[in-house]
Chain A
Amino acid sequence: MREKDEMRVEEIGYASVRGLLHEKSGLPNQDAYSVKRYKFGTILVVSDGLGSKPFSAHGAKSVGTAVDKAVQIWNGYKEKDIRLLLPLVVSIWNLEIFPYAQKDCCATCLFAIVSNDGYVYLGQLGDGSIYLSLDHELQLLKEKEDDFTNVTVCMGSFTGYADWSLKKIFVGHRPFGMVMMTDGVSETIIEDRREAFIQLLYKRISACENLSERNNFIYQVLSKWNPVNAGDDRTLICYRRR
């Protein structure tokens, strides 16, 4: 996906691969992603279904649909308070997962909306990471806690909107980049090498000719993950605006 809009060029690549532990257990890839481009902007979503829940793959897929539909409704209103988007996302997700119970469809929700009004809206519920690079600075939406102490925060189990990490950032027409990843990626990258990893992704994404090349490139990166840390499903969206 490479779109020119006046001065801007958007480059996006994305892929998801099944974890080795899921392969061994005969489970499907329980991660999901969604990338949609509209006149008002671009919506990016990644979601990680909780491995222990019977319909978490369906829950994760429904997260992408729910965010997409919710943003289209939310965008129709003048007031762009990101907090007002959340009840819509949750309600539509509940409709999407029906007839299954919330507890059986637990999944994380990480979204980014690149709006043509010059703002980027970020939201995260549960594990994973969203990095945003702007003006040579790398920002992380949510700092990770211990993996084993926060396993239950996800769609279907969250207790309030305080569980969400939210951010609205003005980017105007400046170039910027984002990398969104499920925890199968974010928790297995060496901590002090994360920035270098992201910069290399941007560089390689920009060198690709088209969407197919970019997606294939991301797929290759995720597929060739060090096997000792490839147990979990891995999903990544790399976005760059130049």
Chain B
Amino acid sequence: MENKEFDGFVMPEARKLPVFLLLDVSTSMGRDSKMDELNRSVREMIDTFRKEQLVQVEICVSIITFGTEVKVHTELAPAKDINYTDMTAKGMTYMGRALDVAYDMIEDRTKVPKNAYRPIVVLVSDGAPNDDHWEDKLIKFTTTGRSSKCDRWSLAIGKDADVSMMKRFLDHPEKEVCFVEDAANIHKFFRFLSSTTIQRSKSANPNQVINEFFTMQDPIDLDFN
């Protein structure tokens, strides 16, 4: 057999494991060092992904921020290629629009190819959405299209966070909203998220969301509501 004649038929890139971060950057996130801590935590998570020497899986990250303006802060790209710039807090909490932007990105097969592993979508907020029709957009995101099949997590920061809304964002009835009382613990959630993502990427079937993750009992001093 001429060994090289079959080389050109196999995809040269590893399959993607996309991670979408939907991050609240409303004015309230600028208080009590929450935004500073969020920036540090996201940066650390991307660094962790970058350092992992994965061959068969490419962890890709996209960041969508929502204040009054909804912005694709980071286009979906391999973690190793991301040059992270800090987010700043400003404005209202237009989460519904952010869900629409994320929905469209996940539907786009040029960004999330057909052979991508099940994407992870993370919602982080310290408040409640206040744009029009956010509830319809949440229902659309969680019940239709490809986003409805994603592995979805949420982090509520502080007592003003709308935990019941964030519970509706999750993809499994046994999953719980992760809750941190203050900014100092945000990094714990992101370390937990980094760890579960890397575990998935190294598992025999990276599409599989491991059930133990749903019922993990306070693995890193996070509160689950």
Closest residue on chain A to residue B117 by CB atoms: A148
- Please judge, given known A-B contacts A147-B207, A200-B5, A227-B55, whether A189 and B10 are in contact too, CB under 8 Å: yes
- A25→B210 CA distance, assembly (Å): 15
Contact across chains for A221 and B6 when beta carbons are under 8 A apart: yes
Contact across chains for A51 and B3 when beta carbons are under 8 A apart: no
Q: Which residues A19-65 have CB closer than 8 A to chain B?
A: 19-22, 24-25, 27, 50-52
Q: Which residues A181-231 have CB closer than 8 A to chain B?
A: 187-190, 193-194, 196-197, 200, 204, 217, 220-221, 224-231
Which of B116, B150, B204 makes the CB contact (< 8 A) with A27?
B204
- Please judge, given known A-B contacts A51-B204, A51-B208, A197-B6, whether A187 and B115 are in contact too, CB under 8 Å: yes
B102 to chain A, nearest CB (A): 16
The listed residue with most A CB atoms (<10 A of its CB), out of B10, B55, B203, is: B10
- Please judge, given known A-B contacts A20-B56, A149-B149, A193-B8, whether A229 and B14 are in contact too, CB under 8 Å: yes
- A226→B74 CA distance, assembly (Å): 29
A219 to chain B, nearest CB (A): 10
- A149→B57 CA distance, assembly (Å): 18
- A188→B57 CA distance, assembly (Å): 12
Q: How many residues of A are counted as interface, with CB atoms below 8 angstroms from the partner's CB atoms?
A: 38
For B1-32 the 0/1 string (1 means CB < 8 A from A) is 10101111111111100000000000000000
For B37-58 the 0/1 string (1 means CB < 8 A from A) is 0000000000000000001110
| B175 in contact (CB, < 8 A) | no
Contacts of B203 in A (CB 8 A): 21, 25, 51
- A151→B118 CA distance, assembly (Å): 10
Contact across chains for B56 and A230 when beta carbons are under 8 A apart: yes
Dominant SS among interface residues on chain B: loop
- A52→B115 CA distance, assembly (Å): 18
- Please judge, given known A-B contacts A21-B202, A148-B119, A188-B115, whether A228 and B208 are in contact too, CB under 8 Å: no
- A31→B13 CA distance, assembly (Å): 23
- A230→B119 CA distance, assembly (Å): 20
B182 to chain A, nearest CB (A): 35
Contact across chains for A24 and B205 when beta carbons are under 8 A apart: no
Q: Which residues B99-113 have CB closer than 8 A to chain A?
A: none
| B71 in contact (CB, < 8 A) | no
Contacts of B119 in A (CB 8 A): 148
Contacts of B206 in A (CB 8 A): 21, 231
Contact across chains for B7 and A22 when beta carbons are under 8 A apart: no
B60 to chain A, nearest CB (A): 14
Which of B11, B56, B150, B202 makes the CB contact (< 8 A) with A190?
B11
Contact across chains for A220 and B208 when beta carbons are under 8 A apart: no
* Interface pairs (29), CB distance under 8 Å: A20-B56, A21-B203, A21-B206, A25-B203, A50-B205, A52-B208, A144-B114, A145-B114, A147-B15, A147-B114, A147-B116, A148-B118, A149-B149, A151-B207, A151-B208, A188-B10, A188-B15, A190-B8, A193-B8, A193-B9, A197-B9, A204-B1, A221-B6, A224-B6, A224-B7, A226-B10, A226-B11, A228-B13, A229-B56
Contact across chains for A148 and B56 when beta carbons are under 8 A apart: no
| B191 in contact (CB, < 8 A) | no
- Please judge, given known A-B contacts A50-B205, A51-B204, A52-B205, whether A226 and B115 are in contact too, CB under 8 Å: no
Contact across chains for A148 and B7 when beta carbons are under 8 A apart: no
For B190-209 the 0/1 string (1 means CB < 8 A from A) is 00000000000011111110
| B146 in contact (CB, < 8 A) | yes
Q: Which residues B164-212 have CB closer than 8 A to chain A?
A: 202-208, 210
- A217→B13 CA distance, assembly (Å): 25
- A96→B55 CA distance, assembly (Å): 37
Contacts of B210 in A (CB 8 A): 52
Closest residue on chain A to residue B15 by CB atoms: A229
